[in-house]
Structure 1
Amino acid sequence: MTRTRDLDVVVYGATGFVGRLTADHLARHAPEGTRIGLAGRSREKLERVRESLPGASDWPVLIASADDPDSLTALANAAHVVVTTVGPYARYGIDLVRACAEAGTDYVDLTGEVQFARASIDGYHDVAAASGARIVHSCGFDSVPSDIGVHVLHEQVAADGEGTLADTTLVLSSFRGGVSGGTIDSMRGVVDAAKSDKRTRSLLLQPYSLSPDFSAEPDLGRQSDNSLVKGSDIAPNLHGVTAPHPMASVNTRVVRRSNALRGWAYGRAFRYREVMSVGQSWFSPAVAAGVTAGLGGLLAGFAFGPTRKLLDRVLPDPGDGPSEKTRNTGHFTTDVYATTTTGARYVSQMRAQGDPGYKATAVMLGESALALAVDRDGLPDAAGVLTPASGIGDALVRRLRGAGFEISVRRN
């Protein structure tokens, strides 16, 4: 549908930590002539953020709040793309999804909350599909490396005529950075929802919890997100042991939704999991067991009142973040290993500098928004509640490479 808007991109939550980083990335890297605005609750704070950004003196500020649905409707009607960092999304996000879906406005966020994504799908996929809106969740470290890593792998396998993907495993091979306060707050929200709602508990255990059609998914048996895996069980040349990936329960669902939205293009035998490398030393098995226990203990700690109070005192708050030096010295590498239905082996890799949860995430989020705003001719033919791969695809690959990300595929 034809859309006439005053702005190409608006950053909602621009006064928050990741919101400011995203606005800064856009100020420095958006194509000349891109019309960008800043949105949030406080005009004074938005104006201070604007003053800190290079070349942004004429960017408009828009007042919007999660507790004012009319302001979100006005926000959605002001821009082609809304970028939101305002979470936890299950608490603050659904009205903005509604506004964008109804207005035919593209939308990107950072959510790692499965229950929020499911509510968005159930409530607004059909609305967005009818209006032409692309509602694209999980456009940060959750879940771009996972979703785009599998996407480029699939594209190469298809080009080589080597069938479709079968056993596929993402390995978080290296990582340096902190955990954002927003991610911690989202984890609290997931635990609270699981405690109070049986449907949410069931949803979090369902491997196809973000599927467009549960009944159409293949029965591939148990697909665990919390198992210890030998490297050699993933690929013959991979050594050592691995521990669970902290965000596998989100990322795996996003990737499986991409497969379903694309007509199971990755294959009906596509089995996907995510793990984290803990090295190859003699004590690596103990480290892997410790990581597994630690993740379980953190979630249990949030569920138990006294330990939750202690965790709340020591963990970062929403809106907090590391120093510029720490953000710049961070990095990540993810490798996606796959065996195809013809028996061929492939691996894709994504590498980037910058703290994954902050600097690199701001790049991924900003470039997702720019792809939707200015690369429309290169986007997949899709609308509705989508994923990075199904909603942006190759346009995001090109933008991330242009922003310094290394993305490659090779036979293994």
Structure 2
Amino acid sequence: MTGTSPARELDIIVYGASGFVGKLLADYLVKHAPEGTKIGLGGRSLEKLAATRADLGTAAADLPLIIADADDATALKALAQRTRVVATTVGPYAKYGHTLVHECASAGTHYVDLTGEVLFHRESIDANHELAVSTGAKIVHSCGFDSIPSDLGVHVLHEKVTADGAGELTDTTLVVTALRGGVSGGTIDSLRNQIDVSKDDARLRKLAASPYSLSPDRDREPDLGRQNDVSVVDGKKIDPSLKGWKAPFVMASYNTRVVRRSNALREWAYGKKFKYSEVMSVGSSVVSPVIAGGVAVGLGALVAGLALPPTRFLLDKVLPAPGEGPSESTQKKGHFTLDVFTTTTTGARYTSRVKAKGDPGYSATAVMLGESALSLAKDHKDLPPATGVLTPATALGDVLVERLRAAGFEISARKL
């Protein structure tokens, strides 16, 4: 049973199935879901959904099509009540996601998405957490490259440190060791939307900038000093084995907040001195400090450019649009390797790794979102008991770790 509700007609509805990432997700589920999994395709256009179903081949011929516009509360309520899990790829979520997530929380229907939007996530927590607790729903935001590798990388690191009796985590840094793949049009559109929403509202800008913007109780968070998501760092300060300087990681300003929420939801099990950041490798040559600094300047320029009408007009012409994506062959050439380093309260050093093939923002994301949905639909009895607005680590934990390993991901942790 899902939450406190009766048995459902369907196991998973893919909402946004006719979009680029929605098609990837639907295709993954049709090919990899356990036999007997009941999947539906949802969206606003019957014609486009029918075309998607046809493209998925004979195995998908009988999948039901569910029509619901993103602002039609009645249709979305009916959709949520038909299924155990909704997996939605329709963003920006601040524009198109509020009604659906609320209807899922109300119906006791589990929910996963791909949001990387701090303000939407915060609004969802405030509007839906207590409601979802009361109905037994697990609302799990950010089940793609934002933010599963970060959240599970720290999760398995913490488990290894705990198993070894090596204390708690302190300074912890994720390093993007290798990455090949493009930034999705949906990610860019989400950034545009958050800039538009917050540029004239100082309160929202302050909230988005807070390192604990997603915390369940910001007053209980430890004061660890300034936590900067756009810093340039000497690799040796992260771990003696690292060479070269590290640049800011474009997704750090979101992922770090998700990981900190996981720590708080677990009553600060990672540690009250747990300080988390994310950076990316730009090589180990003598010019790495210059390259890293250039990346930092470039990220700032992108945000500033999207906030100003003249430069935004030009950027919109060259940045990927929502619904666009790379070819299948290009996606297959993609990959990522993320390494997390920590020092514990006993002085021990540990590292974890999350590594996978496939374009991080597209094919690999379809695997992560698909396995998250399957964890909720098929492994509910084995999941952590928490309900409400959760994170991948606190909602899915080891169940998702094992599913992703079975799907070809490397997820590991060891003492250095």
Q: Specify if TM > 0.5.
A: yes
Q: Secondary structure at the match of 1:196?
A: coil
CA drift of 1:69 comes to 1.0
Q: Distance in 1 between matches of 2:230 and 2:71?
A: 37
- Match status 1:364 vs 2:373: no
Q: Is the 8 A contact 1:378 1:394 kept in 2?
A: no
1:244-263, CA deviations, whole angstroms, 9 ceiling, x for partnerless residues? 01010100000000000011
The 1-side partners of 2:7 and 2:224 are apart by 46
1:52 matched residue in structure 2: 55
* Counterpart among 17, 22, 26 of residue 23 in structure 1: 26
Distance in 2 of aligned mates of 1:344 and 1:213: 30
- 1:408 maps to 412
Partner of 1:3: 6
Provide the rounded CA distance (Å) in 2 between the counterparts of 1:44 and 1:192.
Answer: 32
Matched, 1:147 2:142: no
Partner residue, 2:43: 40
Q: CA deviation at 1:67?
A: 1.9
Counterpart residue type for residue 65 of structure 1: D
Whether contact under 8 Å (1:162, 1:340) holds in the other structure is yes
Letter in 1 for 2:286: W
**Superposition TM-score, scaled by structure 1 size:** 0.99
In structure 1, stretches of 5+ residues that fail to align are none
Which residue matches 2:98? 94
SS in structure 1 opposite 2:193? Answer: helix
Q: Distance in 1 between matches of 2:154 and 2:192?
A: 29
State how far apart, in whole Å, the 2-side matches of 1:140 and 1:197 are: 29
Deviations 1:43-86 (A, max 9, x none): 11111111111411111010011121111111110100000000
Task: Give the aligned partner of residue 74 of structure 2.
Answer: 70
Query: Aligned AA for 1:19?
Result: G
Q: 1:183 corresponds to which residue?
A: 187
- 8 Å contact from structure 1 (residues 382, 391) kept in 2: yes
- Residue 3 of structure 1 deviates from its aligned partner by 3.1
Q: 1:196 Cα deviation (Å)?
A: 2.3
Q: CA deviation at 1:197?
A: 1.8
How far apart are residue 189 of structure 1 and its match?
A: 0.8
- Superposed CA deviations along residues 342-401 of structure 1, whole A, max 9, x for unmatched, are 111100001100000001011000000000100112100100000000011111101100
Give yes or no for the alignment of 1:239 onto 2:243: yes
Q: Is 1:373–2:377 an aligned residue pair? A: yes
RMSD: 0.7
State whether residues 5 and 108 of structure 2, in contact with CA within 8 Å, keep that contact through their aligned partners in structure 1. no
Letter of the 1:246 partner, please give it. V
**Which residue does the alignment assign to 2:136?**
132
Query: 1 CA distance for matches of 2:236 and 2:106?
Result: 49
For residues 23 and 84 of structure 1, what CA distance do their matches in structure 2 show?
A: 11
Give the structure 1 partner of residue 120 of structure 2: 116
1:196-235 matches, within 5 Å, as 196-235=200-239
Taking the aligned partners of 1:88 and 1:385, their CA distance within structure 2 comes to: 18
Matched residues, percent identical?
A: 64
Residue 282 (str. 1) matches residue 266 (str. 2):
no
Q: Does 1:272 align with 2:276?
A: yes
**Equivalents in 1 of 2:373, 2:408: separation in Å?**
17
The answer (yes or no) to whether the contact 1:209–1:253 under 8 Å persists in 2 is yes
**Residues 1:396 and 2:410 are matched in the alignment:** no
The answer on whether the counterparts of 2:5 and 2:107 sit within 8 Å (CA) in structure 1 is: no
Distance apart, 1:282 and its partner CA: 1.7
Q: How many residues align?
A: 412
1:79 maps to 2:83:
yes
Aligned with residue 328 of structure 1, among 309, 329, 332: 332
